[in-house]
Chain A
Amino acid sequence: MHALEISGLKKTYRNGFVALKGIDLNVEEGDFFALLGPNGAGKSTTISIITSLVNKSAGSVKVFGNDMQQHPMRVKRDLGLVPQEFNFNMFEPVEEIVINQAGYYGVDKQTARERCEWALKKLGLWEKRRAVARGLSGGMKRRLMIARALVHKPRLLILDEPTAGVDIELRRSMWQFLREVNGEGTTIILTTHYLEEAEQLCRNVAIIDQGTIVENTSIKQLINQLDKETFILDLAVPLTVAPTLQCGYPLELIDETTLEMEVRREQTINVVFEELSRSGIEVMSMRNKANRLEELFLDLVERGGEK
């Protein structure tokens, strides 16, 4: 069953800006799905339409088979949203924000308290439950929004850049928590600017650019599309010019102890090391220049732009 079915979704704002040009998208139940795209691509508009915060211009949205036009309450009941911007009352205590949200979904007080405790403990906010929200750090506020979105046990959780501005240690603990939530059966749609995050968490991905889906596939297949990789080689001894290799791989000297090398997928890099050893050049370490998904993302968006 599809957790989300979007078909022919269009949005034109009152000022004439066309945010979505008719997108089609399916997300399977239980999936951890990434919706990627540059700023202004249409990600947030799509999410806002799914969650009834923006009116669509055309097309249809179904959540677990329920059309949002015909059964808006059923659709809303199944959704949880973690928006990009903080959108809670900064003057309310943490616990009150989460329990109130449960109340809006008709969850009784006792159950709401139990779920609130579970979510706040899982997200490391239990000690702060009586603190007023505006006193929390940025990372805590993000976690509060996740706790709030989960308190009514949604079947589909939408996270719009949930880890923006969060330090790497905290981000990793949030990833772990989200994996657990997904493992328990909640379908998750994630938008993020950290492509490593999408690569780590998601199984399937759609890339949206200028209001159009430019790619919709699995993360694995997407990465397999990458036909070249760039490596950085750290050298033991400084060089003045980049060596020319007989195997024909282009090498560029970035600084006197750093070489950059571009390799196609079908090429082996063993020959490079053999030739460098023969020339007396010692390589101390090697790393990818950029995240592979990041390279592919830029490539796809660039191609989309050229079209």
Chain B
Amino acid sequence: MDLHTYRIAFTTILVKEVRRFARIWIQTILPPMITTALYFVIFGKMIGSQLAPIEGFSYMDYIVPGLIMMTIISNSYANVVSSFYGAKFSNYVEELLISPIPHSLILIGYIAGGVARGLTVGVMVTLVAMFFTEIHFYNLWVSLSVVLLTSILFALAGFINAVFAKSFDDISIIPTFVLVPLTYLGGVFYSVSMLPGLWQTLSLGNPILYMVNTFRYGMLGVSDISLAVAYGVILLFIAVLYSYSLWLMKKGVGLRG
């Protein structure tokens, strides 16, 4: 197969994925918008109005980047884990496995689907945020690049979860017990500089901290982390997770007998 046919195959997977989450928008797009609106009302308006500014920004302005990033992380992850596990569970992943598409292209197609949902929900949540505060970008390129890289990273993580999942329970364990705690502890609602010394050091082991802070830099121009270190950490995670995902596919783990 040549590049042209690979392009058709990739587009087919991507469009199929986008149609899938668009078809069930009440389950995929609406809930994060409502949840984030509640965060803005409760934490931003009600509680935030009682708090002192952080690094020169109102609490509402300070948490907006973290909340947008939180929805991007959870949605890019959720899209791939549920879609790929669904394909495994109902055996229609076989449609792809028997077709002449390289493993890397199947993987990239699913990742692109996860990124598409992450970005769609990210845009929707940003629009919701505009009802509560003024949105501006200090550095648009940093904002866009970190959003893209983060959604790629968590789409890959969702893929790995789907490969190992043996039941629908298995696809909710990681988000509930790993992703949500790491996100909440990743500086969404506070600056790590507010933490005591030991907790500050421990926080540096949380990859989500780097993404939230880089995006906060993109929007507000403030960050607890050096941008170079943050990009390095994100790219390293992507490289490791991509290689591992591809190896799993080639070995047929959870896919072939």
**A residues bordering B, Cβ < 8 Å?**
13, 48, 51-55, 72-74, 76-77, 79, 81, 83, 85-91, 96, 100-101, 103-109, 148
With A89-B92, A104-B95 already in contact, the answer to whether A73 and B100 are too (CB < 8 A) is yes
Q: In the complex, A226 Cα to B182 Cα: how many Å?
A: 71
Apart from A52-B98, A77-B100, A89-B92, list 5 A-B contacts with CB within 8 A: A72-B100, A73-B1, A96-B19, A101-B95, A108-B8
Interface flag for B96 (CB, 8 Å): yes
B94 vs chain A, min Cβ distance (A): 5
Q: In the complex, A244 Cα to B11 Cα: how many Å?
A: 76
Tell me the chain B residues, 46-98 only, with Cβ under 8 Å from chain A. 86-87, 90-92, 94-98
- Convert B229-255 into 0s and 1s, putting 1 for each residue whose CB lies closer than 8 angstroms to a CB of A: 000000000000000000000001000
B172 vs chain A, min Cβ distance (A): 20
With A54-B256, A103-B12, A106-B5 already in contact, the answer to whether A91 and B23 are too (CB < 8 A) is yes
In the complex, the answer to whether B94 meets A104 with C-beta atoms within 8 Å is no
Q: Which of B13, B92, B99 contacts A105 (CB 8 A)?
A: B99
In the complex, the answer to whether B92 meets A104 with C-beta atoms within 8 Å is no
27 A–B contacts, CB within 8 A, in A order? A52-B256, A53-B97, A53-B98, A53-B257, A55-B257, A73-B1, A73-B102, A74-B100, A81-B98, A86-B91, A87-B95, A88-B90, A89-B87, A89-B90, A90-B90, A91-B23, A100-B16, A100-B95, A101-B95, A101-B99, A104-B96, A104-B99, A105-B9, A105-B100, A108-B8, A109-B8, A148-B95
Q: In the complex, A160 Cα to B210 Cα: how many Å?
A: 51
Q: How many residues of B contact A (CB 8 A)?
A: 29
B251 vs chain A, min Cβ distance (A): 9
B contacts with A: majority SS: helix
Residues of B contacting A88 in the complex (Cβ-Cβ under 8 angstroms) = 90, 92, 95
With A52-B97, A53-B256, A76-B98 already in contact, the answer to whether A104 and B9 are too (CB < 8 A) is yes
In the complex, the answer to whether A106 meets B4 with C-beta atoms within 8 Å is yes
A159 vs chain B, min Cβ distance (A): 14
With A73-B102, A87-B91 already in contact, the answer to whether A106 and B1 are too (CB < 8 A) is yes
Interface flag for B168 (CB, 8 Å): no
A100 vs chain B, min Cβ distance (A): 6
A17 vs chain B, min Cβ distance (A): 11
Q: In the complex, A106 Cα to B2 Cα: how many Å?
A: 9
B55 vs chain A, min Cβ distance (A): 47
Q: In the complex, A263 Cα to B6 Cα: how many Å?
A: 61
Closest chain A residue to B7 by CB distance?
A106
